[in-house]
A and B are shown apart, each in its own frame.
Chain A
């Protein structure tokens, strides 16, 4: 008996050691390129950081940056509210709409690759640097009302106003078109993740349920949803992060990220204040992540363990 126990604990220890080895390359990179600058920025929040002649100069100011943002800066809390409301909408819509689209797209019909590509392609176009190039072309189409380098105003709206449509109606229509477009665009990554998850559900699970006489509604709720619950959680986390950290300089970037960047890298160059903003913002998003985890994450993790 004793020998057996010893053997198994040795096995566990060997497993743990292997675990450390697996994690090591990532952790080293994480510590150097993330944790270190991250902690540095935490220190900045308590300082007035300026670019002097001799490089960076820090002056300790305690909690002044935080107090200023919460008490004196009227915009900060307003931005925070806007961003949070946007985030909740995106999470709710994307999580559900993407699952619906993904369930359809995994079915075996001709041309499904083309359909998948269509739903994912906007992702390639609507983020980062390529976006700014492609965006300036697309902007002139009048979709997603983005900035456009070659002409002012959106062409579709312009055509409508020439056609005698009243300005209020145009604004309304363009608003709806913009938000639908933005929503489906945001769904691209979740759809792809759901598809990958759905493909891993064994066909036998569906067959067994059908033999038992379950309808498609039951199959969806009792088999599909529980089986992909880790992916649902993954998508919720993705949507929260995607919405909250959308690059501030792009047209679909959020106001908070823009404020953080402007504070730190705009004309003001207040690194300390910018870091304090980022940290307060981080705490708020972390709260929502925690909420998502308490509601869903723990349950999702129990699936296999």
Chain B
């Protein structure tokens, strides 16, 4: 990687990047120590397996830090392009598969698993 030689180069580098992607739905999994202890690694694997098994091309799984809701781990935030994020609580492998099938493929939120409380960003 080439080193950035000035503040302007840094700003150009930043302008060419964004958190998430305009063309893909991102499934952000809270994977701090606490999330991992609650099973986030299994959740990530289940999501990735389901994406592969269903041949979904428009979604990718990323790790993120602590989302702050210890009581609702493991947490998955679905960030679809142009949509407000939808947050799921207590995402085990079975729920992970449902999220891919019903939400990512079918467009329907998985009822009963949404953490609906607003949080500031």
A and B bind: no
On B, residues with C-beta under 8 Å from A are: none
